[in-house]
């Protein structure tokens, strides 16, 4: 926090899960640049979350790092409590937290399936429950899917299944929040240059992904953050949708 930028009654507040790195960090910093006070949720990367908060406050913004497991309802209740206590309420929740484990379906370790289910599906539900109960009017919930729900690449089957569940619940929740003036959408990135995506890929594989889209490059975390900022701000007539931010890949 910085003394010269106090939270006021008109300050909008965002909570970004998985905000300590990758797309989550870009989202947190973009929303802060748009004037949001930002809660940066993290699970294990305390140093990364601290770096995000430091980067935001160095630019005159307001941010708070809060630890918690997105799939644990008690943890997330405490995370929401902490952000509300610091900033006075919450207007936007961006649910970037997720894990990706790749394997052919026939060879997939079921423990890995359970891990993805817990974080990607249960975690989305837990966060969505808190958001649905707490967001102020005019708010927005932004979930995260993946463009692989369209491209359907081999080895992505279990991951796609977890993200297809997120897409399915997004429209349902939007309809369930009728009358609350809260939008619910999902962003489905294509190949994006994050540590999660680049892990275990050689230069040839990365080049193939980069060349697949008509724009002939990988997405950058800032590209995805721009999409989130649109949904979190002016896009009040977009509701229950999945936006594929992938440069024309699919």
Position of tokens 């999660």? 196
Residues facing 202 on adjacent strands:
none
String of b and e for 16-37 (b: at least 16 CB within 10 Å)?
A: bbbbbbbbbbbbbbbbbeeebb
Please check whether residue 195 is in contact with residue 18, taking contact to mean a CB–CB distance below 8 angstroms: no
- Distance (Å, rounded) from C-alpha 229 to C-alpha 235? 9
Structure-block tokens of residue 49: 């979350």
**Which residues are known to be catalytic?**
159
Tell how far CA 250 is from the center of its chain: 21
- Distance (Å, rounded) from C-alpha 50 to C-alpha 211? 35
């Amino acid at each position: 926090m910085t003394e010269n930028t106090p939270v006021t009654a008109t300050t909008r507040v965002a909570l970004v899960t998985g905000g300590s790195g990758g797309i989550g960090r870009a989202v947190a910093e973009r929303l802060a640049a748009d004037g949001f006070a930002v809660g940066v949720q993290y699970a294990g990367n305390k140093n990364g979350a601290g770096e995000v908060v430091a980067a935001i406050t160095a630019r005159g913004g307001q941010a708070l790092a809060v630890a918690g497991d997105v799939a644990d309802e008690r943890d997330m209740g405490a995370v929401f409590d902490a952000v509300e206590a610091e900033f006075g309420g919450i207007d936007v929740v961006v649910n970037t937290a997720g894990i990706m484990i790749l394997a052919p379906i026939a060879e997939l370790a079921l423990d890995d399936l359970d891990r993805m289910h817990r974080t990607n599906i249960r975690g989305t539900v837990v966060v969505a429950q808190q958001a649905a109960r707490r967001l102020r009017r005019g708010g927005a919930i932004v979930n995260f899917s993946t463009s692989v729900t369209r491209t359907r690449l081999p080895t992505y089957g279990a991951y796609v299944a977890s993200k297809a569940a997120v897409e399915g619940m997004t429209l349902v929740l939007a309809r369930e929040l009728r009358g609350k003036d809260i939008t619910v959408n999902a962003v489905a990135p294509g190949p994006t240059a994050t540590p999660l995506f680049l892990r275990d890929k050689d230069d040839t594989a990365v080049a193939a992904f980069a060349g697949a889209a008509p724009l002939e490059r990988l997405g950058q975390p800032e590209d995805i953050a721009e999409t989130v900022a649109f949904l979190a701000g002016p896009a009040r007539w977009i509701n229950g949708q999945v936006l594929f931010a992938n440069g024309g890949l699919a």
